[in-house]
Structure 1
Amino acid sequence: MKSKKLLLSGYKITSDENYINNLFPIPHELNIQLADLHYLAQKGKESSIKKFVRLIEKYPQVPTLKNYLSVTYQNMGNRKKANEVNHWIIAEHPNYLYGKINLAAEYWQNQEFEKIPEVLGEKLDLKALFPERDTFHVDEVIAFFSITVIYFAELGEIEEAELRMEIMKEVYPESPKIEIIEGILFKAKIKAASKRMVENQENNIYIDIEPTKSGNKTEMPQFNHSEIEQLYTNGSGISENIIVEILNLPRKTLIADLEKILTDSVERYNYFLNYDGLIEENSSFAIHSLIILGELKASESLNSVLNFLKQDEGFLDFYLGDTLTEIIWQILYNIENKNLDIYLKFIQEPGIYSFCKSAVTELIAQTVLHNPDRKTEAIGWFKKVIIFFLNSKIEDNVIDSIFLGSLVNNILDIKANELLPDIEKLYQKNIVDLFACGDFDDVQKLFREESLFTNKNEILSITETYNKINSWSENQKNPFNDNDEINDDYEYIQNSIEKKEPKVGRNEPCPCGSGKKYKKCCLNKN
Structure 2
Amino acid sequence: MGKKKSRNKNKQQVKFSPTQTGKFSNLLPEPEDFPLGLLGLSESLATASGGALHFMSYNITDEPMDWGYPAELKHDLAKLIDQIRTKPQEAIPKLLVLKDKYPDIPSIYNHIAFAYQGIGDKKNAEFWTRENYRIHPNYLFARINLGQLCLSDNQLDEFEKVFDHKLELKLLYPNRETFHISEVVGFYTLMLDFYLCKQQLQQAQAIYKLLKSLVPDHPILARAKPVLQAALLLLSTQHILAKGGQDFLGTVPWIGEDHKK
TM-score normalised by L of structure 1: 0.35
Residue in structure 2 matching 1:185, options 224, 241, 255: 224
Percent of aligned pairs with the same amino acid: 25
> Secondary structure at the residue paired with 1:136?
strand
Distance in structure 1 (CA, Å) of the matches to 2:215 and 2:107: 25
Deviation by residue 1:101-122 (Cα, 9 ceiling, x = unmatched): 0000111122222322111232
The residue identity in structure 2 corresponding to 1:42 is R
Partners of 1:154 and 1:135 lie apart in 2 by 29
CA distance in 2, matches of 1:36, 1:184: 33
- Structure 1: where are the runs of 5+ without partners? 201-404, 406-425, 433-438, 449-454, 456-526
Q: Residue type matched to 1:84 in 2?
A: F
- Does the CA-based 8 Å contact 2:52-2:202 persist in structure 1? no
Measure the CA separation in 1 of the matches of 2:71 and 2:114. 23
Match of 1:82 in 2: 125
Flag the structure with more relative contact order, 1 or 2, with Cα contacts below 8 A and sequence separation at least 6.
Answer: 2
The amino acid of 1:183's aligned partner reads A
- Match for 1:65: what amino acid? I
| 1:44–1:74 Cα contact (<8 Å) kept | no
Equivalent residue, structure 1, for 2:215: 173
- Aligned in 2, Cα 1:195/1:36: closer, same or farther, shift over 3 Å? farther
* Partner AA of 1:89 in structure 2: N
Whole-angstrom CA distance in 2 between matches of 1:442 and 1:80: 57
Q: Is the partner of 1:444 in helix, strand or coil? A: coil
d(CA) in 1 for partners of 2:93 and 2:74?
19
Unpaired segments of 5 or more residues in structure 2?
Answer: 1-45
3-state DSSP of counterpart to 2:88: coil
Give aligned pairs, total.
208
Name the residue aligned to 2:12: none
Match for residue 162 of structure 1 among 190, 205, 209: 205
Pick one of 66, 69, 90 that aligns with 1:47: 90
Separation in 2 of the partners of 1:445 and 1:32? 61
Deviation at 1:13, TM superposition (A): 2.1
Residues 34 and 187 from structure 1, CA distance in 2 versus in 1: closer, same or farther, beyond 3 angstroms?
farther
Q: Say which SS state the counterpart of residue 252 (structure 2) adopts.
A: helix
State the match for 1:8 in structure 2: 56
CA contact (8 A) 1:40 1:48 kept: yes
RMSD value, Cα = 3.4
Contact 2:188-2:211 within 8 A present in 1 as well: yes
Write out aligned runs for 1:361-400 (5 A): none
Moved over 4 A (4+): 1-4, 193-197
CA contact (8 A) 2:84 2:114 kept: yes
**Structure-2 residue corresponding to 1:38:** 81
- Identify the match of residue 105 of structure 2 among 28, 47, 62: 62
Secondary structure at the counterpart of residue 63 of structure 2: coil
Instruction: Name the structure 2 match of 1:127.
Output: 170
What is the aligned partner in structure 1 of residue 155 from structure 2? Answer: 112
Question: Secondary structure of the residue that 2:69 maps to in structure 1?
Answer: coil
CA deviation after TM superposition for structure 1 residue 51, in Å: 1.5
Q: CA deviation at 1:129?
A: 1.0
In the TM superposition, residue 133 of structure 1 has moved relative to its aligned partner by 1.9
Residue 32 of structure 1 aligns to a residue whose secondary structure is helix
Q: Who wins on radius of gyration, i.e. which is larger?
A: 1
- Name the SS for the 1:71 alignment partner: helix
Structure 2 letter corresponding to 1:188: V
Is the Cα–Cα contact under 8 Å of residues 89 and 99 in structure 1 kept in the other structure? yes
- The residue that corresponds to 2:27 in the other structure is none
Shift in Å, 1:36: 3.6
Task: Tell me if structure 1 keeps the 8 A contact 2:201–2:232.
Answer: no
Q: Secondary structure at the match of 1:13?
A: strand
CA contact (8 A) 2:130 2:146 kept: yes
1: CA distance, partners of 2:250 / 2:89: 54
Q: Residue 194 of structure 1: CA displacement?
A: 8.6
Q: Distance in 2 between matches of 1:125 and 1:43?
A: 34
Separation in 2 of the partners of 1:79 and 1:136? 30
CA distance in 2 between counterparts of 1:188 and 1:104 reads 20
Q: Which amino acid aligns with 1:8?
A: M
The corresponding residue for 1:520 is: none
Find the residue that maps to 1:33 and give its secondary structure.
Answer: helix
Distance in 2 separating the partners of 1:91 and 1:442: 56
Contact 1:90 1:96 in 2 (8 A): yes
CA drift at 1:135: 2.0
Query: 1:300: which partner in 2?
Result: none
Residue pairs, 1:74-473, within 5 angstroms: 74-170=117-213, 172-173=214-215, 178=218, 180-189=219-228, 192=231, 430=244, 432=246, 440=248, 444=252, 446-447=254-255
The answer to whether the Cα contact below 8 Å between 1:16 and 1:137 also exists between their aligned partners in 2 is: yes
Deviations 1:160-217 (A, max 9, x none): 11211211233x336x5x2x211331353366369769x96xxxxxxxxxxxxxxxxx
Query: What does residue 70 of structure 2 align with?
Result: 27
Decide whether aligned partners of structure 1 residues 166 and 189 sit closer, same or farther in structure 2, where only a CA change above 3 A counts. Answer: closer
Taking the aligned partners of 1:115 and 1:443, their CA distance within structure 2 comes to 43
